[in-house]
């Protein structure tokens, strides 16, 4: 069995949207009344996620990225997917604390709160051995992938707590936080020290959100989005491009499924968007009982 296979549960794998995570059928209406904040929504997975939430009936979608033109395109696609979904955006660099705060404030001012946060902005430069790496590029990976994610969590957490309370009083579920991790978080691949360590840290950060704010009603998940051939992913060495076989609507649909409340039992854990959600749910008790899908140090052979 390959090293990649060992990182996946022994359940059916998907590479594109399927009925259980389809926002236009099974999950239609699941995002009704919700306000969704997506960072890194100018293209690829982030853009597909914005469209998927619109298809699922989101009341409003607020997007950020560094390209205004691309954000305009995403907004148009959201409106096309669901003319009833309101959409606004702000140009924002997630590594800039003040810009992150300003975008969150603008979202809340325009729409009245935040029910879902999707931290999708990421960075991956050309991989090099540590002794040959560019220090500025190596640290930028951490600044975008981790510091940017921290800023989003820090300044949206109070709204997510409010959302969880509000939806709980209505008999529904809110306060969902999605962090983009990677299957690479579990590996030690030569030349990938910056990217893989930053994603490993994302998994642990997700666990800390659960420890610190799980009782407040926040449901946080760290997800591997699959091998989607995004511009970022194509910066990996050519030998790994054969693994880029997944469609962006896979993580988009999986994220909508997570935020529907169907997986609240798995909060604080690392999940792969490739995993079949019905089979995943069937082993729920084992995952909880054995505390699976979290970072732990094995001390027994």
- Span 50-94, pLDDT tens digits: 999 999 999 999 999 999 999 999 999 999 999 999 999 999 999
d(CA 269, CA 40): 22
Distance of CA 18 to the CA centre of its chain: 19
DSSP 135-202: HHHHHHHHIIIIIHHHHHHHHHHHHHHHHHHHHHHTTS---EEEEE--GGGG---TT-HHHHHHHHHH
Please, which residues bridge with residue 116 across strands?
A: 36, 176
CATH fold group of domain 16-289: Rossmann fold (3.40.50)
133-160 pLDDT, tens digit each = 999 999 999 999 999 999 999 999 999 9
Identified catalytic residue from 34, 89, 159, 199: 199
Coil, strand or helix: which one is 111? helix
Q: What is the pLDDT of residue 105?
A: 98
pLDDT-wise least confident of 173-182, 263-272, 288-297: 288-297
**CA–CA–CA angle 223, 273, 294 (5° rounding):** 40
260-288 pLDDT, tens digit each = 999 999 999 999 999 999 999 999 999 99
d(CA 298, CA 301): 8
Q: If we measure between CA atoms, which residue out of 121, 123, 114, 120 comes closest to residue 155? A: 114
195 is catalytic: yes
Identified catalytic residue from 62, 123, 195, 270: 195
Question: Distances in Å between the alpha carbon of 107 and those of 21, 37, 104, 163?
Answer: 27, 8, 5, 14
- Tokens of residue 166, six digits: 């509000």
270 is catalytic: no
**CA–CA–CA angle 192, 47, 97 (5° rounding):** 65
d(CA 102, CA 155): 10
| 213, 261 contact by CB (below 8 A) | no
């Amino acid at each position: 069995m390959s090293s990649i296979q060992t990182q996946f549960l022994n359940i059916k794998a998907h590479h594109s949207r399927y009925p259980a995570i389809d926002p236009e059928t099974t999950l239609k209406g699941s995002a009704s009344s919700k306000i969704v904040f997506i960072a890194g929504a100018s293209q690829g997975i982030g853009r597909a996620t914005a469209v998927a939430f619109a298809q699922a009936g989101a009341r409003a979608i607020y997007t950020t990225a560094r390209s205004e033109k691309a954000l305009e395109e995403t907004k148009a696609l959201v409106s096309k997917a669901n003319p009833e979904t309101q959409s606004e955006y702000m140009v924002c660099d997630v590594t800039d604390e003040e810009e992150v705060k300003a975008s969150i404030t603008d979202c809340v001012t325009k729409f009245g709160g935040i029910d879902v946060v999707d931290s999708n902005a990421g960075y991956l430069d050309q991989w090099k051995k540590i002794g040959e790496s560019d220090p500025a590029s190596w640290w930028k990976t951490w600044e975008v992938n981790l510091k940017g994610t921290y800023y989003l969590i820090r300044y949206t957490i109070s709204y997510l707590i409010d959302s969880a309370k509000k939806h709980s009083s209505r008999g529904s579920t809110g306060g969902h936080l999605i962090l983009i991790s990677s299957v690479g978080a579990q590996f030690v691949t030569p030349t990938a020290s910056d990217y893989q360590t930053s994603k490993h840290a994302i998994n642990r950060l997700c666990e800390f959100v659960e420890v610190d704010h799980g009782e407040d009603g926040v449901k946080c998940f760290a997800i591997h989005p699959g091998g989607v051939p995004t511009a970022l992913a194509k910066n990996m060495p050519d030998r790994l491009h054969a693994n880029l076989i997944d469609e962006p609507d896979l993580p988009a649909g999986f994220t909508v499924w997570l935020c529907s409340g169907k997986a609240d039992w798995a909060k604080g854990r690392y999940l792969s968007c490739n995993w079949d959600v019905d089979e995943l749910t069937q082993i729920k008790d084992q995952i909880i009982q054995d505390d699976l899908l979290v970072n732990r140090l094995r001390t027994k052979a």
